[in-house]
Amino acid sequence: MSNNWKLDAEGSRFLTAADTIAREVIQPLAATVDKEGRFPQENIEALRKAGLLGLVSAKKVGGQGQGLRAAVAVAERLARECPSTAMIVMMHYAATAVIEQHGTESIRKAVAEGGKLTTLAFSETGSRSHFWVPVSTAEKKPDGVRLNATKQLITSAGKCDFYVWSSKPAAAEGLSTIWAVPADAKGLTIPKPFDGLGLRGNGSAPITARDVLIPESNRLGEDGKGFDVMMGTVMPYFSLQNCAVSLGMMQGAFARAVHHVTNSQYSYDGSKIADLPQVRGHIAKMRVKIDLVGGFLLDALDAIEQQREDAVLRVLESKVAGAETSLEVHDLAMRVCGGAAFRKDVGVERFFRDSRAATVMAPVSDALYEFIGKAACGMPVF
Ligand SMILES: Cc1cc2nc3c(=O)[nH]c(=O)nc-3n(C[C@H](O)[C@H](O)[C@H](O)COP(=O)(O)OP(=O)(O)OC[C@H]3O[C@@H](n4cnc5c(N)ncnc54)[C@H](O)[C@@H]3O)c2cc1C
């Protein structure tokens, strides 16, 4: 597969492996995953077998030693077929980045070598999309740390092995603390399964923690310094990959829309939908918007890697750029495919539904516009 992402030779090999799995395993299952709203375990197994769950873990703990650029490329490729799977994987990479930076060697190895799946468990019913102010608690006890929480919508809930989990600090001042919580810890329950409008396969269920005891060594970063972890490590991985998933969805919907308009005929004169100049105009608009996001994402990667002055702005912009452009592109994909787009076999409506999530995933687009607006006006962002 072509490598527009400027990956090194090893990164390119992993992208090629992801491309093969996307074509041979993920694509054939995508409609079923959506219809049944079931977790795509087969896809995750195939990615695990290819070593792709260890993509962003360091080589010395058994991972592949790649970074954000490769994660973005893989997430984008998977999203062209099954955005649910792409979202599971991108949450795993974002959570792994935190584990890599702050986790114990045994947890890092479990993820890197053992292929354990992880996710971000930040959102709570109490603080909703304002994940930076968790209301759930952590208490120091003689035998560890006791967690209590009502988490709101957590990708891969009950299907992963570790949650990268936020709470109020245990003892220190500050907004939050981050923990690695084993998914089989006693006291964790999933009160109801996910039955969503879109991303129906990604298992985004609520999670309740009642007196869950974990070792204090599972703390990821300093007590009370969760905000720094969220902004320094999670945000670049989450925002750019979220943009990548939006980009992959747009590419997926675009390919299917073009296929439909170039193959569907008006039998009275043999013309195709694509013979209508208005339709070609909409297709062109989609192409331009998709390529703008693709170019933007490459620049955001460069900004981070080169530690450019605008890197923080690019991080804030990337999720909202992908999410909001994706809403427009998916609207156009539905429009050019007409009433046929309401049928599942055309393949566009699944992407249309899936595309709705990015805007309301925290940080929500409206909050990001507020942060970017403050930065542009020279005001403090937080
Ligand atoms: C498919 C899916 C998967 C998810 N996976 C995860 C996951 O793995 N981990 C996780 O932690 N969470 C996850 N979430 C939760 C997500 O990150 C958000 O917390 C959640 O979607 C916010 O919904 P809410 O109803 O609580 O939003 P609310 O906070 O109630 O916001 C509603 C609306 O109010 C406005 N608004 C809110 N805050 C602001 C603000 N500061 N400035 C301006 N306007 C604002 C916006 O218009 C926003 O859309 C997932 C959500 C979805 C839909």
pLDDT digits (tens, 9 = 90+) for 119-131: 999 999 999 999 9
Q: Provide the angle, in degrees to the nearest 10, between the axes of the packed helices 9-21 and 68-79.
A: 20
- Residue 158 is predicted with a pLDDT of 97
Instruction: Report whether pLDDT(207) > 90.
Output: yes
Distance 339 CA to ligand 1 centre (A): 31
Q: What is the pLDDT of residue 381?
A: 85
How many other C-beta atoms are found inside a 10 Å radius of the C-beta of residue 173? 8
Across the chain, mean pLDDT equals: 97
pLDDT of residue 42: 98
Q: Residue 39 is encoded by which pair of tokens?
A: 């977790």
| pLDDT per position as a tens digit, 46-77 | 999 999 999 999 999 999 999 999 999 999 99
Query: In this predicted structure, what is the pLDDT of residue 382?
Result: 79
pLDDT above 80 for 40: yes
Question: Mean of the pLDDT values across residues 351-361?
Answer: 98
**Strand 265-266 relative to strand 271-272, pairing:** antiparallel
Question: Which residue's alpha carbon is nearest to atom 22 within ligand 1?
Answer: 129
Instruction: Please report the atom of ligand 1 found closest to the CA of residue 166.
Output: 11
Taking CA atoms only, the protein residue closest to ligand 1 atom 31 is 129
- Centre a 10 Å sphere on the Cβ of residue 192 and count the other Cβ atoms it contains: 7
Please report which confidence band the pLDDT of residue 232 belongs to, taking 50, 70 and 90 as the band edges: very high
Nearest-atom index, ligand 1, CA of 123 = 11
Q: Looking at residue 41, what is its pLDDT?
A: 98
Q: What is the mean pLDDT of residues 329-341?
A: 98
- 168, 138 contact by CB (below 8 A): yes
Pocket of ligand 1 (CB under 6 A): 91, 119-123, 128-129, 131, 152-155, 196, 199, 202, 204, 357, 360-362, 364, 366-367, 370
Q: Helix or strand or coil: residue 121?
A: strand
Q: Is the confidence at residue 1, as pLDDT, over 90?
A: no
Contact 320, 361 (CB under 8 A): no
Report all structural domains of the chain as residue ranges with CATH numbers, in order of start.
9-116 (1.10.540.10), 120-222 (2.40.110.10), 227-376 (1.20.140.10)
For residues 102-118, average pLDDT: 97
pLDDT, tens digit, for every residue of 245-303? 999 999 999 999 999 999 999 999 999 999 999 999 999 999 999 999 999 999 999 99
Cβ–Cβ < 8 Å for 48, 62: no
> What is the per-residue pLDDT across 360-380, written as a single tens digit (0 to 9) for each?
999 999 999 999 999 999 999
- Between the CA of 355 and the centroid of ligand 1 the distance, in Å, is 14
Give me 354's structure tokens: 């899936």
Q: For residue 131, how far is its CA from the centre of ligand 1 (angstroms)?
A: 9
Beta strand 188-189 pairing with 205-214: antiparallel
pTM score, two decimals? 0.98
